[in-house]
Amino acid sequence: GCHYHEGEMGLPKDLKKSIGLCMRAAELGSINAHAHLSQAYYNGEGVEKDMKKAEHYCERAAMGGNVIARHYLGLLEGIHKSNHNRAKKHIMIAARAGYDNSLKMIRDMFTAGHVTKEEYEETLRANKDSLDEMKSDQRDIAADAI
């Protein structure tokens, strides 16, 4: 579905088809489809803009382990609901899972006094541990080959 959304891989850009395929994939449990639908409803791309549906699909993707969706769930909580404490928790989870944009936001929150020194240090350690777990010689070799 995502390839139809962007018109990639030789496929024509077709938002309606993209949404239909993503809906079916989400019904079958695809976490990435949930994330894609969240963005589609948030931006009104191929569907009518709907913040409740955007949040619903974002929550499903985040619960399934999509760290980018977890980050955006934090943004939705903070920006659209003004629930800054809950937003901080979501963004910290994403940062601890290795998502760099979330780590940058936590750093900014620390600088602004919204995150304690202990929370920031714990998040830095968890982020490093997460990134270290993802490292491997095979990945380094593949990255060098590209």
Show the DSSP H helices in 10-83 as ranges.
15-27, 31-43, 51-63, 67-75
> Does 38 score more than 80 pLDDT?
yes
> Does 10 score more than 90 pLDDT?
no
Average pLDDT (128-135) is 88
**For 68-114, how does the pLDDT look when each residue is reduced to its tens digit (9 = 90+)?**
999 999 999 988 888 899 999 999 999 999 999 999 999 999 999 99
What pLDDT does 75 receive? 93
What pLDDT does 30 receive? 96
Distance separating alpha carbons of residues 88 and 86, to the nearest angstrom: 5
Mean of the per-residue pLDDT values for the chain? 91
